[in-house]
């Protein structure tokens, strides 16, 4: 996951990670067509880790398309138990054969499906147990932001998600800062805001573990990310990529986001 900055061999450079969260969109046929349209272009950007996160029903057919590429797959959610009488749920044990990543704690899971911090913590630990990298989503709503509670909300979510997670495991997670007021709204946070929250996330990671680990963990921004604004976020020193929603549903748009991410990498 790490590249070495040749200007300072002692300083690791975090590999940018761009993840496409398709949410509840695309039939299997549509998913295959979308991947086929952008596969060769995405695979050409070797300095960016690209993760496709389709609906569950499309995971198995898509995995065959990306098998001989550097593109990774992720799942949009999972349940913390390995198996059992949990109708409609999917476990980490089932996903590990196809996926490298899984989103945990997305705001839509927190708000629409009432997932608690304790539930999210169980999912994080289950994912890590089965060699899945959790993309832990954190973020405040508009009221919390206006009240000046962003750090308190994000910090508490992070501490809860990593409760009883070892330093060795914590170093491999990905954090996605997704302010609820920006998701799907067309009004993203600006680069300065996102970078400030990411910097605070590293402060909390250092508090929980140490500064070395805080410097290694990759932090994404999510919320109305487009090819027009990705450069602003990627120019920030604490932002390492994006969790992309709507813009990942169109091949040309998503390819441009990945392309501009790689361009920004050389400008940091």
Strand duo 72-75 + 49-53: pairing: parallel
* Per-residue pLDDT tens over the stretch 154-197: 999 999 999 999 999 999 999 999 999 888 777 778 999 999 99
What integer pLDDT is reported at residue 11 of this predicted model? Answer: 46
18 has pLDDT over 70: yes
Q: Give the active site residues.
A: 106, 178
Q: Burial of 92 by CB count in 10 Å (0-12 exposed, 13-18 middle, 19+ buried)?
A: buried
Q: Could you tell me the pTM of the whole model?
A: 0.94
pLDDT band at residue 6 using 50, 70 and 90 as cut-offs: very low
258 DSSP assignment: H
What integer pLDDT is reported at residue 12 of this predicted model? Answer: 56
In whole angstroms, give the CA distance from residue 19 to residue 69: 15
267 has pLDDT over 90: no
DSSP 38-58: HHHHHHT-TTSEEEEE--HHH
Nearest CA among 224, 207, 68, 115 for reference residue 103: 115
* Per-residue pLDDT tens over the stretch 37-81: 999 999 999 999 999 999 999 999 999 999 999 999 999 999 999
């Amino acid at each position: 996951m790490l590249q070495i900055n040749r200007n300072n061999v002692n300083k690791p450079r975090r590999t940018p990670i761009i993840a496409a969260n398709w949410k509840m969109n695309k039939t299997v046929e549509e998913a295959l067509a979308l991947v086929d349209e952008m596969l060769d272009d995405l695979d050409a950007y070797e300095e960016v880790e690209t993760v496709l996160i389709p609906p569950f029903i499309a995971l198995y057919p898509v995995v065959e398309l990306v098998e001989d590429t550097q593109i990774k797959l992720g799942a949009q959610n999972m349940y913390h138990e390995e198996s059992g009488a949990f109708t409609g749920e999917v476990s980490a044990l089932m996903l590990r054969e196809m996926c490298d990543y899984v989103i945990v704690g997305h705001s839509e899971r927190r708000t629409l499906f009432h997932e608690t911090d304790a539930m999210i913590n169980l999912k994080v630990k289950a994912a890590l147990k089965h060699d899945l990298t959790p993309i832990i989503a954190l973020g405040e709503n508009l009221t919390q932001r206006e009240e000046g509670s962003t750090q308190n909300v994000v910090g508490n979510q992070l501490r809860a998600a990593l409760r009883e997670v070892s330093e060795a495991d914590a170093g491999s997670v990905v954090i996605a800062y997704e302010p609820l007021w920006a998701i799907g709204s067309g009004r993203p946070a600006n680069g300065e805001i996102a970078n400030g929250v990411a910097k605070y996330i590293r402060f909390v990671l250092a508090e929980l573990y140490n500064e070395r680990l805080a410097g290694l963990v990759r932090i994404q921004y999510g919320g109305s990310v487009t090819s027009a604004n990705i450069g602003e976020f990627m120019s920030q020193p604490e932002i390492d990529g994006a969790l992309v929603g709507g813009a990942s549903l169109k091949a040309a748009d998503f390819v441009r986001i990945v392309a501009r991410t790689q361009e920004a990498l050389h400008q940091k």
